[in-house]
Homo-oligomer: A and B are copies of this chain.
Amino acid sequence: MFSIVENVRSQCKYNGWMHISEVRERIVATADELYNAKGIQAVGMDELRTAAGVSLKKLYAEFPSKSSIVMAVLEHRHKSWTEGLDATVQQAGAPRERLLAIFDYLAGWFCQDSFRGCGFINSFAELGAISPDVAEYARQHKESFQEYVARLAGEAGAPGFLAPQLAILAEGAQTTAAIAGTSDAAGQARQAAEVLIDAALTAD
């Protein structure tokens, strides 16, 4: 299922003036924005077509169905979220600061006008019950985040129970910030994370 994008991307060739993968990426980026802003089910193929500046024929030449676009958007979200988070984490120095950098990344994200909550939580809420693929992708994304935090926590020398605690804080900050419409939760979660990290490090 997730290999479709790579298969098609490997068949890229010139079609006169634009690389096929660029059309795909423009469609996916546009769909990501629209789905984030209005919800997946609220955005029709015609609206996406207009916003992306692509003909319906090209849309369906690139993707066999709307659900395949949704899955491509989830891949896109996972990639940009993971890369953005890691970039912020890498800028921090000591292992303890790298754990806290997670919440700095959240703070910057929450302040963006386009922030409307975690796209995986949202897509899971909207489609998880009727689309096993969406539910499974959301689960994998969250699992990979858990593993990422666990790696950072391990590098800080923390016991195993710390990482799930910090991950839960991060998840809670995302939903709290989205629904409340403020970015306060990032700072509150960061302060809680400091307490949990210090307690875990001294207990070890």
Complex Cα distance A180/B144, Å? 11
The stretch among A18-26, A58-66, A86-94, A159-167 that forms the contact with chain B is A159-167
Copies in the complex: 2
* Chain A interface SS verdict (over half): helix
The stretch among A9-17, A74-82, A181-189 that forms the contact with chain B is A181-189
Contact in complex: B139, A164 (CB < 8 Å): no
Instruction: Pull 16 A–B residue pairs with CB atoms less than 8 Å apart, ordered by A.
Output: A37-B129, A39-B130, A41-B41, A125-B125, A125-B126, A135-B179, A168-B169, A169-B169, A169-B172, A170-B172, A171-B172, A171-B175, A172-B172, A192-B196, A195-B195, A195-B196
Given contacts A167-B176, A168-B169, A195-B199, 7 further A-B contacts (CB under 8 A): A124-B178, A142-B180, A164-B185, A167-B172, A172-B175, A174-B175, A195-B195
